[in-house]
Chains A and B, each alone.
Chain A
């Protein structure tokens, strides 16, 4: 049993090493991104419409508007939507905040291919800071509910 216990410790130590490799300490910069709101989205015109909302029918696309200009222009950032199964369902970046600010600042969410609409549940938008192609810090987070109704 001692050998097994030692093997267990080794596996857990390896897990801790991986954890620290991808979540290194001392990465907090204090930067905060501002999510203006989440809106109904027209994919053909690539524009949002209507007032900001926190609930959407499952057949209605939506997008978040992020104020990229509020971040230092050289900081590499990105934003990704995750559905209730923690699967990424759309996003922008990573790219310097200045370049993203020059675009319309929208982060659209895309329904999974083969489905008529989004899966119901909670969708989370994470605005992330990147270093060396790896996300290292969450700068903002917002959630919306996709309803079961069409």
Chain B
């Protein structure tokens, strides 16, 4: 809708070109490291064989998926979505061949992999629901949240297989066991995993600007990428440990896998990858609202730095926190360790989120008031108080449902979403941080009026 109303603008091509450049560079790095891995013979060739097509297919699926939502007709949109879905499926299959079948689950068996996946999906889904609800005013579309999650699960994990293996082969193999090797592995995990995950947030920032408003959106997308990564990592560790302990008996193997599930899908669901990548997202989100390019780059770099540092600190120094497996306090110690090591970083994310919500809430209230004062018929003065509070919005929708049934609820929900979208657009325009022309705003007003008419009609 916004795209239809907008005219060609010199900013738009530049950030799309930048996104394409990053995507191309990413692929070139993968090809280079893949070739290197074959030369060094340190990584199974099957990883190169199936991994690269997986990356290519996921990239192509992302392009078709994004194109489908960028002002295409219904027929073309359907075709693009179908192509994107097929490419996405093929990408997943290729990737599964690399990681699941060959690396871990071959030893554990497909049943164990399936059970592990089924165990991790509900917790990840709960995580996504919570993360998406963090944006109290304007929730991000599920399609983008899920794209971010899929990137974390499939693309980012595939990216780090090569990078971390090469790092270990070149540096790790020369280090003696102990703090130096721990630090080396932690640098590898922190740098490569946060870069691989963070690229997704940067690409969303560059290509989906009208769905990427501020620091809150950055945190939501970042956490979604982290949850996707955590999902695949959990499955990999669960199947790996099950296969390792299976010869000692099914109960011990199950306990090992269940321990991993609890540690990664319950205790570490938010206190882990979700927190680190949310920090990257916060940096990108802050950059979204900064004027000068150096300031934006500095904010993004800061987000990456604190995320890498948080990840590094956990991997390098978590074992310094004493946990004695034989102690009756071991369970409490494991929880305390996670809280002490990752808790401060999660607290920073929550602080940034609270600040972002406060700023966004005040801006929305002001823009809604201005829109109501303009008397355009899009926002009524009596609606401002309702629209600025999630609970009052919900109350209004429930009241509408009581009067007119579920359809009235849905119609009012759409109207409220469009009104908030309009206020956000006004906010960005006032701050001169939108590359859409004023016609986009008028298009949003037209849409609000249409929805209001539908809401009032029987």
Measured CB to CB, the residues of A under 8 A from B are: 1-2, 4-12, 15-16, 18-19, 21-23, 58, 80, 82, 84-86, 88, 115-117, 119-121, 126, 128, 134-138, 141, 148, 150
Contact = CB atoms under 8 A, between A and B. Distances in A.
Given A4-B302, A5-B302, A134 B178 contact: yes
A46 B99 CA distance: 41
Interface in B142-191: 173-181, 183-184, 186-187
Sort A-B residue pairs by CB-CB distance and give the 8 closest, nearest first.
A5-B302, A8-B305, A23-B180, A8-B309, A22-B180, A11-B309, A8-B306, A135-B176
A22 B245 contact: no
Contact of B187 (A4, A15, A22, A80): A15
B248 A4 contact: no
Given A15-B187, A148-B247, A7 B309 contact: yes
Nearest to A82: B177
Interface stretch (B69-77, B79-87, B279-287, B360-368): B279-287
Contacts of B348: 4
Contacts of B279: 4
Contacts of A23: 175-176, 180-181, 184
A115 B244 CA distance: 12
A137 B176 contact: yes
B247 A11 contact: no
Given A19-B180, A135-B178, A138-B174, A150 B302 contact: no
A97 B245 CA distance: 36
B247 A120 contact: yes
Contact of B312 (A4, A15, A141): A15
B176 A12 contact: no
Contacts of A138: 174-176
A52 B302 CA distance: 54
Nearest to A86: B177
B232 interface: no
Nearest to B344: A7
B357 interface: no
B245 A19 contact: no
Contact of A8 (B246, B247, B302): B302
A32 B281 CA distance: 48
A100 B240 CA distance: 37
20 contacts: A1-B298, A4-B302, A4-B303, A4-B348, A5-B283, A5-B306, A8-B302, A8-B305, A8-B308, A10-B309, A11-B310, A12-B312, A19-B183, A23-B184, A119-B244, A119-B247, A135-B176, A135-B178, A148-B107, A150-B247
B298 A15 contact: no
A58 B249 CA distance: 14
B306 A22 contact: no
Given A4-B303, A19-B179, A19-B183, 4 more contacts: A11-B310, A15-B183, A19-B184, A119-B248
Given A1-B283, A15-B316, A120-B244, A22 B309 contact: no
A18 B303 CA distance: 23
Contacts of A19: 179-180, 183-184, 187
B385 to A, nearest CB: 33
Given A4-B303, A148-B107, A22 B312 contact: no
B248 A116 contact: yes
Contacts of A128: 176
Contacts of B286: 1
A128 B176 CA distance: 7
Contacts of A4: 279, 283, 302-303, 305-306, 348
A121 B240 CA distance: 11
A136 B180 CA distance: 10
B301 A5 contact: yes
B271 interface: no
Contacts of B298: 1-2, 5
A18 B183 contact: yes
B177 A80 contact: yes
Given A8-B308, A23-B180, A1 B313 contact: no
Contacts of B302: 1-2, 4-6, 8
A91 to B, nearest CB: 11
Contacts of A58: 247
B247 A117 contact: yes
